[in-house]
Amino acid sequence: MKMVLNIIVGSLFLVASFFLYQNSLGAIPFLIGSIFLFFLVHKIHSTSEKEEKENSVKNGDHHKNQ
């Protein structure tokens, strides 16, 4: 479901970008896209760190947490 939402948001972004470029407002899509991608990468990075910590605790490797 999250993947579908990302595809829908990306498609809407492309359509909005086209109309903004036609009106000479091309910098706005870059700003919106960079903010969206920043939060997407931040979310992916934080979930991967959480999984890594959980796996190290399960394996008994407490030195990675320090």
**pLDDT tens-digit profile of 13-50?**
888 888 888 888 888 888 888 898 898 899 888 888 87
Return the minimum-mean-pLDDT range out of 13-17, 49-53, 57-61. 57-61
pLDDT of 60 reads 67
Print the domain residue range for 47.
2-61
Separation between Cα atoms, residue 33 and residue 26, nearest integer Å: 12
pLDDT band of residue 63 (cuts 50, 70, 90) is low
pTM over 0.95: no
Q: Output the pLDDT for position 38.
A: 93
Angle at 10 between CA 27 and CA 29, to 5 degrees: 5
Tell whether 66 is covered by a domain: no
Among 19, 13, 20, which Cα is nearest to 35's?
13
- Domain tally, the chain: 1
* Residue 22 belongs to a domain: yes
